[in-house]
Amino acid sequence: MPKVLVSDKLSETAVQIFRDRGIDVDFMPELGKDKEKLAEVIGQYDGLAIRSATKVTEKLLQNANNLKVIGRAGIGVDNVDIPAASKKGVIVMNTPFGNSVTTAEHAIALMFAVARQLPEASVSTHAGKWEKSRFMGVEVFNKTLGLIGAGNIGSIVADRALGLKMKVLAYDPFLSEERADQLGVKKVELDELLGKADFITMHVPLTDKTRNILSRENIAKTKKGVRIVNAARGGLVDEEALAEALKSGHVAGAALDVFATEPATDSPLFNLPNVVATPHLGASTTEAQENVALQVAEQMSDYLLTGAVTNALNMPSVTAEEAKTMGPWIKLAGHLGSFIGQMTNEPIKSINVTYDGVAAEMNLNALNASVISGVMKASNPDVNMVSAPAIAKERGIQLATTRQEAGGVYDGYIKVTVVTDERERSIAGTVFSDGKPRFIQIRGINVDAEIGEHMLYTRNKDVPGVIGALGSTLGDLGVNIANFQLGRTSSGEDAIAILYLDEAMSDEALAALEKTGKFLQARALHFEI
């Protein structure tokens, strides 16, 4: 009989699910706070169910010799050392969609609160004042809501806003026109949203592309009198710039549930009039907490009893037998997707994958999931092989696969083509006998490139002096080239280069390459090796 430890506060109903499924469960909700005691007993258990109080560190995992699965009731897994768990062979699961409605409702609540100045009015009235004329609000009816991010939570906010008879604009590079029509929103570029929205809400993860998406410059582009709501991630808004815009009157109000530094004990936004601040309450409802607890109990039970894997962050959905053969190919599929994802900024309409030879005989569901996950990680690092296909479908991205018999010099290969309104991008790769994935074709140009953690991709016309300019420019900036691969169609036509770097490429180095005028494209790439 599998044995599970619940070391954080989960509902009794969730604990009973384990018992009803025939799993021996110890419910010790205070144990997660006692690192030494937890490390002492963890070796007895096959599963560990947690919330945020339990810290699953590499040191703890050293004692977890029987542990097979960790289930996090919630989406955040900052308290779990996932690489260490992977090395230990422990699956890490979460419940990414259990609190979507709750978070969306909190964003709507914050919008109402800042529109009608409810917190300040409440404090004033509790103080015995009757300042009816001071708290003049605005209606949301017939106003324009600008959504930055139209994924799972953003789409729920859009639905609620349309019910309030608001007009909804959405900025999301991965939102297709078809999906926008389904949601009833108008897809726009960011500048248009900033200039037209009466309210702006954010529903995107924090990435290099979204960090300070409401920067000083972008806040200045907003409509005068705009009200800004952030219940997504701290760091999406330049808090100092927002404070200045509030003081000047350009921004009429703001409501934030998340901050760049948490716990937020100090912020330039604190104590400003018409700023609503809450302590990261987006997922804090009894229903949401119950939902994620029940989900994690079901997921862990399914895995321990049947081997079914749901919402795993570090394991593909394949059998143990398949994993031995497919492991390198799953990694290759992710790298191919990651390459195109990092190269693509516009909305993706479809992903077409061709499987040749031995690759065509494998479990395509797992390979497809790895491709999609790789593509989408560039804009959403929280996606995984389980959640990525669902998110892609939600955004209207079509997936097409083709199987074919081996027809070339390789025993098998995978080719990924991404289609947007503006272009198609393709890349192919294979796995050599040494088990290492390789890129073998980019833009129809044959190459033989191993995959490194830090890489630079360039495209140019095949004319004299380009390689010299590349080497001298990077050399002047102290960028060390570990290795490189070149490819071209024919003399004077398109040529590409793949460089392996010792460290990540800086924006300064990319800008320097562009200034030479010799490159049609230069893009720094990162791969999880």
What is the CB-side half-sphere exposure of residue 342 using CA atoms within 13 A? 22
How far apart (Å, rounded) are the C-alpha atoms in residues 46 and 194?
A: 50
Do residues 365 and 317 lie in contact, with contact meaning Cβ atoms separated by under 8 Å? yes
Beta partners for 499? 456, 484
State the catalytic residue, choosing from 72, 179, 227, 233.
233
State the catalytic residue, choosing from 280, 403, 459, 523.
280
Q: What is the identity of the amino acid at 246?
A: L
User: Which position has the token pair 């040529």?
Assistant: 495
Do residues 10 and 297 lie in contact, with contact meaning Cβ atoms separated by under 8 Å? yes
State the catalytic residue, choosing from 131, 262, 287, 493.
262
Q: What is the identity of the amino acid at 477?
A: L
Q: Give catalytic status of residue 233 as yes or no.
A: yes
> Would you report the helix, strand and coil content of the chain in percent, each value rounded to 5?
35, 25, 40
Q: Taking the C-alpha atoms of 16, 20, 25 and 27 in order, what is their torsion angle to the nearest 10 degrees?
A: 10
Q: State the DSSP string of 359-410.
A: GGGS-HHHHHHHHHHHHHHTT-TT--TTHHHHHHHHTT-EEEEEEE---SSS
Q: Give catalytic status of residue 280 as yes or no.
A: yes
Sheet with 275-277: list strands edge to edge. 186-187, 167-171, 144-148, 199-202, 226-230, 251-256, 275-277
Q: Give catalytic status of residue 503 as yes or no.
A: no
* Residue 109 DSSP code: H
Catalytic residues: 233, 262, 280
